[in-house]
């Protein structure tokens, strides 16, 4: 099993280009089931993207990579079920449900279980699909979905702006009969990207400022060529990596406004952030300052995915920072591993109190989940001595060329 070693204490400095967004490309790949032929540019090379392509291939599509692009031919599907093994490869495979139902009028997929972040219910996905006319029966861990008549537009109000549920509704509704209105929909940039991919293919979707989404079903979508937005979480992670070493970094190929909620927090930690149209420049203090309170929220609030790398930064701050996690139940598993490096973090339910220490020290630590793994690497960059980070398959789900990028900024990092 591979692992990463990082010798801490090097000040990072330099420039990086950010890849396409994992969380945008996955629902878009599901959406290619509806368009015939798609060419998707700016696709990051990640294990989750490979898992999505494996699902497309299993369903009968031809999917192949050409550099940073993936070409998908989805004219001839051979089945509408996704077996348990493929569903488990990637938690977010549930986003294929809406697309398969829209394409085939039925679907059989295994129920996604819990994951590293705690239980991951899909009740909002299922109740919304039922409103669109889908009959869903649970059978020995599988969901059997069928559409007795035709998918029909509906008015759906989400009690929580779930990203995955919003994506499933959009995918199922864009070819339904009639109009769909989603109130309290998720407003993450990845939702807008899915909508603009589908609109390029001929869908009729309008997103209002207040988060309401209007969809008028169309009969057919057409082949499409589309480029995925940059990954705001990859960008936030590298900002934290540079900041924890007292370094400076310029990130290219980003949409700076997608990280608006992250800048004030980094500035409170003592960083200076400057943006222009497509880049972010960060310079940082030798030692970060504490952050009074970080509350994770649905977009445009502070992203839960950036909480873990930021916590590494707070672990060496000159005071105490408080975190409140409002999205996932178990999103502090990295805290125990950070403690092995000398961090002082007390977790009580949704709250974590991080008392900054003068120095972290290198240790052997285990990635607990994707962003937790990024947090450990961030901490290791500032720790005295060598850290060994294991279970890095989590990191490979979300960061392309992670070690290469860190090395190019001056980190001493090796994959073994
Ligand atoms: C997506 C992102 C993930 C990010 C999260 C929140 C992808 C592939 N993943 O995950 O990186 O951290 O948004 O920004 O895009 N919930 C329910 N019932 C449901 C659906 C969700 O209770 O039917 C709960 C979840 O358990 C969780 C919360 O709502 O506590 C947020 O989930 P959701 O917004 O759906 O996130 P994901 O789409 O799973």
- The pLDDT tens digits for 312-362 are 999 999 999 999 999 998 899 999 999 999 999 999 999 999 999 999 999
User: How far is residue 280's CA from residue 149's CA, in Å, rounded to a whole number?
Assistant: 50
Q: Is the pLDDT of residue 62 over 90?
A: yes
Q: Which of 25, 26, 46, 120 to mutate to test the pocket of ligand 1 (most atoms within 8 A of CB)?
A: 120
Q: Is the pLDDT of residue 38 over 90?
A: yes
The catalytic site residues sit at 115
- Dihedrals phi, psi of 111, to nearest 5 degrees: -70, 130
Q: Is the pLDDT of residue 36 over 60?
A: yes
Which residue carries 């980003």 as its tokens?
Answer: 254
CA max distance for the chain: 65
Per DSSP, the three-state class of 406 is helix
Query: What local confidence, expressed as pLDDT, does residue 116 receive?
Result: 66
Q: How far is CA 98 from CA 73, 132, 183, 371, in A?
A: 19, 10, 18, 27
- The pLDDT tens digits for 170-222 are 999 999 999 999 999 999 999 999 999 999 999 999 999 888 999 999 999 99
Q: Which of 164, 193, 328, 350 to mutate to test the pocket of ligand 1 (most atoms within 8 A of CB)?
A: 164
Neighbouring-strand partners of residue 320:
355
Ligand 1 site, residue 306, Cβ cutoff 6 A: no
| pLDDT grade for 277, boundaries at 50, 70 and 90 | very high
Q: How far is CA 222 from CA 39, 75, 193, 284, in A?
A: 12, 11, 17, 48
Report CA torsion sign: 88, 93, 98, 104: negative
The DSSP symbol for 112 reads P
Query: What local confidence, expressed as pLDDT, does residue 117 receive?
Result: 63
Ligand 1 site, residue 121, Cβ cutoff 6 A: yes
Cα 96–Cα 260–Cα 348 angle in degrees, nearest 5:
75
Per DSSP, the three-state class of 372 is helix
| Mean pLDDT of the 390-410 span | 96
Ligand 1 site, residue 162, Cβ cutoff 6 A: yes
Strands 135-139 and 155-157: unpaired
Q: Is the pLDDT of residue 233 over 70?
A: yes
pTM: 0.97
Ligand 1 site, residue 26, Cβ cutoff 6 A: yes
CA 45 to chain centre: 14
Reference 352, options 331, 322, 374; nearest CA is 322
For ligand 1, atom 25, which residue shows the shortest CA distance? 120
The DSSP symbol for 140 reads T
């Amino acid at each position: 099993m591979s692992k990463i070693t990082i010798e801490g204490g090097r000040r990072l400095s330099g420039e990086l280009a950010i890849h396409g967004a994992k969380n945008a490309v996955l629902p878009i790949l599901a959406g290619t089931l509806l368009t015939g032929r798609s060419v998707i540019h700016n696709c990051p090379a990640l294990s989750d993207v490979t898992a999505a392509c494996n699902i497309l291939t299993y369903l009968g599509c031809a999917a192949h990579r050409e550099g940073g692009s993936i070409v998908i031919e989805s004219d001839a599907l051979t089945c509408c079920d996704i077996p348990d093994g493929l569903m488990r490869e990637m938690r977010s495979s549930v986003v294929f449900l809406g697309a398969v139902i829209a394409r085939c009028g039925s679907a059989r997929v295994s129920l996604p279980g819990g994951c590293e972040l705690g239980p991951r219910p899909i009740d909002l996905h299922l109740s919304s699909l039922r409103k669109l006319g889908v009959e869903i029966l649970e059978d020995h861990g599988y969901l059997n979905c069928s559409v007795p008549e035709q998918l029909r537009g509906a008015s759906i109000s989400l009690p929580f702006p779930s990203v995955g549920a919003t994506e499933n509704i959009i995918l199922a509704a864009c070819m339904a009969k009639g109009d769909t209105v989603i109130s309290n929909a998720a407003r993450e940039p990845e939702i807008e990207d899915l909508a603009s991919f589908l609109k390029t293919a001929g869908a009729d979707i309008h997103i209002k400022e207040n988060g309401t989404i209007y969809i008028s079903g169309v009969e057919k979508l057409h082949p499409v060529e589309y480029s995925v937005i940059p990954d705001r979480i990859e960008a936030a992670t590298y900002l934290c990596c540079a900041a924890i070493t007292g370094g400076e970094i310029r990130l290219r190929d980003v949409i700076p406004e997608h990280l608006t909620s992250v800048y004030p927090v980094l500035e409170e930690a003592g960083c200076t952030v400057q943006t222009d149209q497509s880049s972010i420049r960060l310079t940082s203090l030798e030692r970060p300052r504490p952050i009074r309170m970080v509350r994770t929220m649905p977009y445009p609030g502070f992203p839960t995915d950036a909480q873990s790398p930021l916590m590494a930064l707070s672990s060496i701050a000159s005071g105490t920072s408080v975190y409140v996690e409002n999205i996932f139940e178990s999103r502090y598993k990295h805290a125990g591993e950070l403690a092995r490096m000398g961090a002082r973090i007390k977790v009580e339910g949704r709250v974590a109190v991080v008392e900054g220490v003068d120095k972290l020290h290198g240790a052997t630590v285990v990635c607990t989940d994707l962003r937790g793994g990024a947090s450990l690497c961030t901490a290791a960059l500032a720790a005295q001595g060598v850290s060994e980070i294991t279970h890095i398959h989590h990191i490979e789900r979300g960061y392309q060329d992670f070690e290469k990028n860190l090395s190019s900024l001056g980190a001493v990092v090796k994959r073994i």
